[in-house]
Structure 1
Amino acid sequence: MFTILVEYFDTFSLAFRTTLIASLVAMLLSLIFGTLLAVFQVSKNKALNKIGNLYVECFKNIPLLVITMFFYIAIPLVLGVKMNGMAAGTIGLTIYSTAFIADVVRTGIQAVPAGQMEAGLATGLNYWETMVNIVLPQAFKIVIPPLGNQFITLVKNSSVLGFVAGADLMYAGDLVSSETFNMMGTYLVISLFYLVITLPLNYVMAYVERKMEVA
């Protein structure tokens, strides 16, 4: 394993960077879109409510690989827009993860006492101002642990890039194992690189949770 790590360190480093960038971009976008959809899901506006629920129910039940392959193969064929593996994988990962994060944030919003929304509206704030300034901060306090789990799952799901030549860790692992015929050593190295991302992320989310409990 150590020999493979040293010999192919540059390959693994580039793949690690690709995995990290794709994960961070998907994490940020899915958090933004997931939060918006969660607000839609709890909205009294029937149209917004249906949009939020339809998105979540639809994309939670479609495999991530199918979504990714759609952007990697179907979109270029239909629209003639070339899309590399990293772009297709990141888009697929974002769309898929957004549905799960929306569900987590929705649960947090629903756990906030209804009186908080009513109090905000009573002070003259509109629905969106109350949601952003009063309800969502409390909701995020509640859902930090499951949100952290979703982020870690997202990082692990980024391995889907390997199926579309996304030059991520899994793709690098396939290339190296095909050259060295040492699958065990290669994938142990890949596992270590994933741990370099997921373990600090786990500690960061735990730290944020403790800070928000004190605040």
Structure 2
Amino acid sequence: MAPSPKQDEDFPWWLVILAVTGAWLFYEVMASDVYSQALRTLTRGIWITISVAVVAYLSACAIGLGLAVMGLSRFRVLRQIARLYIEVMRGVPVIVLLLYVAFVLAPALVAGWNALADPLGLPLARTRDFPLIARATIALTLAYSAFLAEVFRAGLQAVPVGQIEAAKALGLSGWHRFRHVTFPQAFRMILPPLGNDFVAMVKDSSLVSVLGVGDITQLGKVAAAGNFRYFETYNVVALLYLTMTIGLSLVLRRIERRLRADKP
């Protein structure tokens, strides 16, 4: 059911409550030496959190779009390969995939490289030379590419067939139809779920702490274990994640509203 005009005009009291709570926590951070110390410690992990989320998300988008195109291909083999990948990746919990990539796939890749490099006289690799942050990024990419593939597929299928037929009648090639007709229309429709998945990626990036990657969550665990200030430390951890995710949600909502207003 479409939201009523009254619902669209509701004042965002939830945002006011969050802003007041955030202002109070910010004051506590500035006024308390314990909170200030926790903030200084955790801010070192912000860059790791953001970089892992952005790189993994962009990579997952590229793979997901390719999987969506394969899933809509006229070739049965490509469709089956895409479906197999999507179902397997969606069926494995993200944290299990992180552990699998870190401790099974990464050593296997190193062993495979050494098997090829040894006869050719190339330098051999060691498992410890495969950075944990790279393993975590690969795992998040694999996990989210399957979900994003379904988002892209739904968007591409939602484009009216008449638009594609008209592009064919104009003599546009398959690539030009996709680039100028299909994908621009699909992108408008899938922007909200794409934005939601990016926010989810930022939150799920906290799972990389199980590998010892120095993101916000990992630094918070280490700091709390050292000073036993669990309440203050995890308050700051939650505040940092809330600031990032709510800020992203508001930006994405504004972009969505602008695209809706520009839609003819």
TM-score under structure 2 normalisation?
0.76
Unaligned runs of 5+ in 1: none
- TM alignment of 1:31-180, pairs within 5 A: 31-78=61-108, 79=110, 80-81=126-127, 82-180=129-227
Q: Secondary structure at the match of 1:43?
A: coil
Per-residue CA deviations over 1:43-83 (Å, capped at 9, x if unaligned) read 22222222222221110111112221222212343324432
Cα distance in 1, alignment partners of residues 219 and 136 from structure 2: 15
- SS across alignment from 1:101: helix
Partners of 2:60 and 2:141 within 8 A in 1: yes
- The one-letter code sitting in structure 2 at the alignment partner of 1:181 is F
Q: Which amino acid aligns with 1:162?
A: S
Q: Is the 8 A contact 1:71 1:92 kept in 2?
A: yes
CA gap 1:38/1:4 in 2 versus in 1, 3 angstroms: farther
Q: Are the counterparts in 2 of residues 84 and 166 from structure 1 also a CA contact under 8 Å? A: no
Q: Any unmatched runs of 5+ in structure 2?
A: 1-27, 111-125
Verify: 1:27 aligned to 2:65, yes or no: no
Instruction: Answer with 197-206 or 12-21: which moved more.
Output: 197-206
Alignment match, 1:213: 260
Question: Is the CA contact (8 Å cut-off) linking 2:94 and 2:143 kept in structure 1?
Answer: yes
Partner of 2:34: 4
- Equivalent pairs: percent with the same residue? 32
Say what the alpha-carbon RMSD is for the aligned residues: 1.7
State whether residues 71 and 83 of structure 1, in contact with CA within 8 Å, keep that contact through their aligned partners in structure 2: no
The alignment covers a number of residue pairs equal to 215
> Which protein shows a greater Rg?
2
Alignment partners' CA distance in 2, 1:87 and 1:11: 23
